[in-house]
Structure 1
Amino acid sequence: MEQDGLALALADFEGRRTFLTGRAMVRLGEISFAFYLLHGPILRYGHLMFGTVMD
């Protein structure tokens, strides 16, 4: 599995296209990164919005 990651990193470094550089995968990455950025503040401060108490 480690070999696959190294091969993909090398392909990216050399500018070659892989399945991860396709339009659908890039869009999926953008969406998942947005959710990653938002989940922390929502978990931390969401209780203030909904009026529930966190333990």
Structure 2
Amino acid sequence: MEIKGLDYNTQREPLMMPEYGREIQKMVDYAVSLADRAERQACAEAIVRMMATKVPQ
């Protein structure tokens, strides 16, 4: 039985840093795709803040 729109994690692209999860990976992929350097930098800084709250040390 296959449900449309659902897939297994084994069928997805492997994560670069699994400890942060797929949502952070999607944010990084989006940031890399930005053409404007200032916008890309702001996005990267926001991602780092999210990573710090997700896995505090």
| Shorter-normalised TM range | 0.3 to 0.5
Q: TM-score if structure 1 supplies the norm length? A: 0.35
Kindly name which structure, 1 or 2, has the bigger radius of gyration based on alpha carbons.
Answer: 1
Q: TM-score if structure 2 supplies the norm length? A: 0.34
